[in-house]
Structure 1
Amino acid sequence: MAHDASTLPPPDTGRQEGLTPTMHTRGEPLAYPFERGAGLDVPPVYAKLRDQPMARVRMAYGEDAWLATRYADVKTVLSDARFTRAGAVGRDQPRMEPMVRDYGGLISHDPPEHTRLRGLMAREFSARRIERLRVRAHEVAGELLDGIVASGPTVDLFERFATPLPTTLNCELLGVPIEYSRFWAWAEGEASGIAADADPGELAAEFFSQVAALVELRRGQPGDDVLSSLVRARDEDGRITEDELRVLVADLLLAGFATIAGQIAASFYHLMIRPAELSRLRERPELIPQAAEELLRYVHLDDFIAPRYATEDVELGGVLVRAGDPVLVSPAAANRDPAVFPDAEDLVLGRTGAPHLGFGHGAHFCLGAHLARLELQVALETALRRLPGLRLAVPENELRWKTGGIVGSLADLPVTFDRPTGVTGDA
């Protein structure tokens, strides 16, 4: 039976791990996002919330929202046409900062408008197109590891490998000169809270000024890349407006980089604190694609997906979501749902079964999912082969984590390794 928010029955008010009696007050929204555990562990409160009717939450700014934590509920919100992103326009959206950053990109639209815009880039990010980059990805990884091996045996794997690998590949795919990779550093700083003291309006104006300059660069020097393809769609085919062109370029520049760099670093961290699993992958590299998917399920650095708004009354998660109510989803919670993933709190590198929701679901499924998978797989394949005895160079409790924003990550990843195996790049 569904409950209206006003009649939502109170859960057990006894103290439980991750939940306090204060948080159980009838009708009082929970402060969100929840505090993470050590090493960006998924907040334990999610395990409690999955066993209760869907809760209301309150972010630092914006209106209160429902929070979906069960796998089935998250999939419904992300794929059911009764939950819309376009409904967020003009609303006081739940967020972590005063300014509403809604620039009208892909995330702001629903089909069919979203389908039209996404279709301009879908072919470039298809599984077949991205797979052609694997050889180049191995070349880039090999060159980076040449430098690491030559300068080792102690190195910051985040700075020297996890960051430059996706930076280089993304720049080449998009047609972005490498110096423009500072856009991703800016995005990472914004997402992790590092730039919290900066004026968001000034940052946005500066960013879009650089986007316009990049569009003009590709307009004058077109190539076989994603940005040039978008410029042609504007100038030759008239399929998009100039404003749409710049917003799509902004989407590409901001989406994914900080997350995949953090994902690569965090994946190595989780393997290094499980040396038996790391050795298993080194001895059986054919398991790496499957292991990468499990790492993508288990490691969740970004747990905020823009709210969806109900277009009609919907029964979901044991409550009645009224038309116009915003709903947030937690992929991190969904990916630890024991109803879907046996031993969900454990990292099981040989796991099979339901797909994780780390890349979302439905129409807004991550455009760069295939690229992120390839980059993580290649990072694991090459580093495990080239860096024998890979291990943390400091005690685990001395690692530094960025926890100030929506996207968390390691601040750095000091590692050490044993004898070098050569100085030539991997092909």
Structure 2
Amino acid sequence: MTHINLQDYLSQETRSNLRVFYTQLRTEGPLHYLDEVNTWVTTSYEDALFVLRDPRFIKDSRKLPGVVDEAVPEGLSRHLLSSDPPDHTRLRRLVSKAFTPRMIEHLRPRVQQITDDLLDEIEKQGQVDLIPTFAYPLPITVISEMLGIPEADRASFRAWTQAIVNIEADNMAASEAFFHYIQDLLAEKRAHPGDDLTSELAHVQENGDQLSESELVAMIFLLIVAGHETTVNLLGHGTLALLQHPKQLRLLRDEPSLLPNAVEELLRYTSPVSLSDERWANEDIELHGQVIHKGEQVVAALIAANADEQHFSDPTRLDITRQDIQHLAFGKGIHFCLGAPLARLEGQIAFGTLLRRLPDLRLACEPGELKWSKNPMLYGLASLPVTF
């Protein structure tokens, strides 16, 4: 077992070579410990499946005496990712209808229009940072429109979510501001309901079930944050991966029919969520001869699982023609990502349109100069300067 120092883990050197870091960890053993946050970390594909699927690893830390999850304030935490059955089953049923593949497919023309509008502005410039001009505004516009959030209100979201997910000094103030914004939004939707998901959730009732006020606020918070933050990572890091593999980039540009498969491979290769969300052992559980005691926190290193040579052939190679890509980028089990169909649609349209409209796209700095985000659970770029 290796003890991982959190500060070393969050360093730019480690973040820029995270796949290499986890490959080395896996050669040292299957189970490791992340100091400072007291968390067990698995590194193999099979162990990731075990942690993600076994009901003895629970999501609601409130069930365990003395265990406090401080990652998100209580007012924003009563959502899908912090609940277990039967609460999770009820919450997911009440929101899942909006995220079926069929419902998401109806968004294709609008996602294409948003993408084209963003690239219309980018084309005028010749050199841009692709994160704030493309990778961020595309998914935040899509999820905001789904939720009925006025365009003028969206400017605050990036600062709030960055402070929260990167656990910055002002993250509690950002969480409080976010909380009050969602409360005000719900009040407005109750008074003046529209054709949007927030209005629907505020009034939904099925089989006698409905969302409580705290569940509503937490659910909207989750949909906003998860609905854009991980896709920003996919679009930014995925573009970088293609730029660093020019043969794959040319193949994808010349054969757009490969887009669905390419997005799956980019999800595997970049692993926008590098560590799964937290789980707690609800009883003593033995894994590789090590007892994970009741109340201890466990995460699966999804980036390590997605590069496990026991499951993937030549996993360090980007191959957009790779077949049967059973990656874990969206997790597994009952907490499989609700927004997976939306992320896939956005990825297919974004990469396809970007390569078609900017065929000579290239990196505008040395790879070693790139800045990476500091959130320990997400893997993405803070900026991506490109020229064309």
Q: Considering the TM-score relative to the shorter chain, is it more than 0.5? A: yes
TM-score (normalizing by structure 1): 0.82
Classify the secondary structure of the residue corresponding to 1:410. Answer: coil
Question: Is residue 173 from structure 1 mapped to residue 143 from structure 2 by the alignment?
Answer: no
Q: Distance in 1 between matches of 2:368 and 2:349?
A: 28
| AA matched with 2:265 | E
Q: 1:158 to 1:65 in 2, by over 3 A?
A: closer
What are the residue-to-residue correspondences of 1:13-28 with 2, within 5 Å? none
Aligned to 2:190: 219
What are the residue-to-residue correspondences of 1:345-424 with 2, within 5 Å? 345-403=316-374, 406-417=377-388
Q: 1:239 to 1:50 in 2, by over 3 A?
A: same
Q: 1:334 aligns with which of 288, 305, 308?
A: 305
Q: 1:102 to 1:169 in 2, by over 3 A?
A: closer
Aligned to 1:197: 169
C-alpha contact 1:184 1:257 (8 A) present in aligned 2: no
Classify the secondary structure of the residue corresponding to 1:230. Answer: helix
Q: 2:125 aligns with which of 142, 152, 161?
A: 152
Question: Is residue 55 from structure 1 mapped to residue 28 from structure 2 by the alignment?
Answer: no
Per-residue deviation, 1:408? 4.4
Q: Deviations over 1:34-71 (max 9, x none)?
A: 3564663325343244345543413434xx33221111
| AA matched with 2:54 | D
Question: Which deviates the most, 224-233 or 82-91?
Answer: 82-91
| AA matched with 2:374 | T
Q: Deviations over 1:337-392 (max 9, x none)?
A: 11111111121111123411111111111111111111111101111111121111
Q: Distance in 2 between matches of 1:235 and 1:134?
A: 28
| AA matched with 2:48 | V
C-alpha contact 1:40 1:409 (8 A) present in aligned 2: no
Q: Distance in 1 between matches of 2:312 and 2:160?
A: 35
Classify the secondary structure of the residue corresponding to 1:50. Answer: helix
CA RMSD of aligned residues (A): 2.7
| AA matched with 2:233 | G
Number of paired residues? 384
Per-residue deviation, 1:400? 2.9
Q: 1:313 to 1:54 in 2, by over 3 A?
A: farther
Q: 1:321 to 1:237 in 2, by over 3 A?
A: closer
Q: 1:286 to 1:222 in 2, by over 3 A?
A: same
Classify the secondary structure of the residue corresponding to 1:360. Answer: coil
| AA matched with 1:183 | F
Aligned to 2:283: 312
Classify the secondary structure of the residue corresponding to 1:380. Answer: helix
Classify the secondary structure of the residue corresponding to 2:85. Answer: coil
Q: Distance in 1 between matches of 2:233 and 2:125?
A: 22
Per-residue deviation, 1:191? 1.8
Classify the secondary structure of the residue corresponding to 1:268. Answer: helix
Q: Deviations over 1:68-87 (max 9, x none)?
A: 11111111111111211124
Aligned to 2:230: 259
Q: 1:114 aligns with which of 85, 88, 94?
A: 88
Q: Which runs of 5+ in 2 are unaligned?
A: none
Q: 2:22 aligns with which of 46, 61, 72?
A: 46
Question: Is residue 280 from structure 1 mapped to residue 251 from structure 2 by the alignment?
Answer: yes
Aligned to 1:14: none
Q: Distance in 2 between matches of 1:382 and 1:241?
A: 41
Q: 1:157 to 1:349 in 2, by over 3 A?
A: same
TM-score (normalizing by structure 2): 0.89
Q: 2:265 aligns with which of 281, 294, 298?
A: 294
Question: Is residue 183 from structure 1 mapped to residue 164 from structure 2 by the alignment?
Answer: no
Aligned to 2:218: 247
Q: Distance in 1 between matches of 2:216 and 2:100?
A: 20
| AA matched with 1:285 | P
Q: Distance in 2 between matches of 1:118 and 1:98?
A: 20
Q: Distance in 1 between matches of 2:78 and 2:305?
A: 28
Q: Percent identity?
A: 36
Classify the secondary structure of the residue corresponding to 2:204. Answer: helix
C-alpha contact 1:73 1:317 (8 A) present in aligned 2: no
Q: Distance in 2 between matches of 1:390 and 1:145?
A: 12
Classify the secondary structure of the residue corresponding to 2:298. Answer: strand
C-alpha contact 1:234 1:241 (8 A) present in aligned 2: no
Aligned to 1:422: none
C-alpha contact 1:71 1:340 (8 A) present in aligned 2: yes
Q: Deviations over 1:388-426 (max 9, x none)?
A: 211112333333333365434323222222xxxxxxxxx
| AA matched with 1:228 | S
Q: Deviations over 1:176-230 (max 9, x none)?
A: 112332224411233235xx222x4333222211110011121122122211111
Classify the secondary structure of the residue corresponding to 1:312. Answer: coil
| AA matched with 1:227 | T
Per-residue deviation, 1:94? 7.4
Per-residue deviation, 1:281? 0.7
Per-residue deviation, 1:234? 6.2
Structure possessing the higher radius of gyration over alpha carbons = 1
C-alpha contact 1:167 1:257 (8 A) present in aligned 2: yes
Q: Deviations over 1:151-179 (max 9, x none)?
A: 13222222222111112111111221123
C-alpha contact 2:129 2:385 (8 A) present in aligned 1: yes
Classify the secondary structure of the residue corresponding to 1:402. Answer: coil
